[in-house]
Amino acid sequence: MTDPGLFEQLQAAADMVRARAAFPADRAPQVGLILGSGLGGYADGLTGATAIDFGDIPHVPRSQVEGHAGRLVIGERAGARCVAMQGRVHMYEGHSAQAVAFPARVLIALGARVLVITNAAGGVNPAWPPGTLMLIRDHIDLLRDHALRGPNDDRLGPRFPDMTTAYARELRDLARGAAASAGIALAEGVYAAMPGPTYETPAEIRMLQRFGADAVGMSTVPEVCVARHMGARVIGISCITNQAAGITGEALSHDEVTQTAARVRTTFEALLDGVIAALVSHHELGA
């Protein structure tokens, strides 16, 4: 059940980050970045950065998974003021969907009106080899919990947020253009969220293929839901780190996930730089 003090908890977390990062109100972050398994190195390239451990921020749970540093990093990159989650927490660690999504709410409370949400995902579409970058067009939520379950606080957003364009069409257009300008191949498809921590069975992957999914993972959807609840727009990008169960007949491992993410790191970072620069040049971030 949603904590009735969610609004106050969110303000306490945001106030702590503002005090530690010491940015004035007119220099608040414009872009929020959520960096998934093995992808957190992008935050190391922010200039003028302040890094804060998740555990130091009120009401933010600590990350316990390899490949997730568990830090909030505030700085600048590609012409924009950014606040980045270097890793995330997951429901399979024992957290509710509300707790998993709370750090994304903090990014928005700090000022970010666009969230770029990334993840490492298994490839459900057999045509896409490991290392493929996929722009998320839509998602399928099979997590069995919801980040907005419980009492709604109208100060944060409406009771029933519309998810017709959960991943903003105009921002997907910008992302495709940024990828083309950088010569980066960018697939586009549907992300399915499963609770984990076990990888999916071959039968579950066949089910997801029939549902129209192209990639599968254990994150992202709660963050997208609270972003839409609070009125922020979302760009979602998956790094396909392995082909899902039953496609190749090989066993799956987290080592493969982190190794593939490391292999495509340069391309992934170039894509993020291009996306953020496009957001700036097309005046999608405000002042």
148-165 residue pLDDT tens? 999 999 999 999 999 999
CB–CB of 89/62 below 8 Å? yes
Active-site residue, selected from the candidate residues 93, 200, 204, 284: 93
Active-site residue, selected from the candidate residues 13, 14, 68, 104: 68
| Predicted TM-score of the model (pTM) | 0.94
Active-site residue, selected from the candidate residues 219, 223, 244, 277: 219
Peptide bond into 197 cis (omega under 30): yes
CB–CB of 28/111 below 8 Å? yes
Residue 7 CB neighbour total at 10 angstroms? 15
pLDDT at 126 over 60: yes
Instruction: Give the SS3 label for residue 48.
Output: strand
> What are the phi and psi torsion angles at 152 (to 5°)?
-100, 135
pLDDT at 1 over 50: no
Instruction: Give the SS3 label for residue 163.
Output: coil
pLDDT at 101 over 70: yes
- 68: annotated active-site residue: yes
- Each residue of 230-274: pLDDT tens digit? 999 999 999 999 887 767 777 777 787 888 888 999 999 999 999
- 91: annotated active-site residue: no
- 92: annotated active-site residue: yes
Active-site residue, selected from the candidate residues 14, 28, 37, 125: 37
Active-site residue, selected from the candidate residues 49, 51, 76, 92: 92
Structure tokens that stand for 43 in this block: 């935050």
Could you tell me the domains of the chain? 6-281 (3.40.50.1580)
pLDDT at 202 over 90: yes
Nearest to 33 by CA among 131, 138, 103: 103
242 or 141: which carries more pLDDT confidence? 141
Residues in the chain: 287
- 93: annotated active-site residue: yes
- 37: annotated active-site residue: yes
Cα–Cα distance between 57 and 103 in angstroms, integer?
9
- 146: annotated active-site residue: no
Check residue 48 and give its pLDDT: 95
- 207: annotated active-site residue: no
Q: Where is average pLDDT lowest: 46-55, 104-113, 242-251? A: 242-251
- 152: annotated active-site residue: no
> What are the phi and psi torsion angles at 207 (to 5°)?
-60, -45
Check residue 3 and give its pLDDT: 45
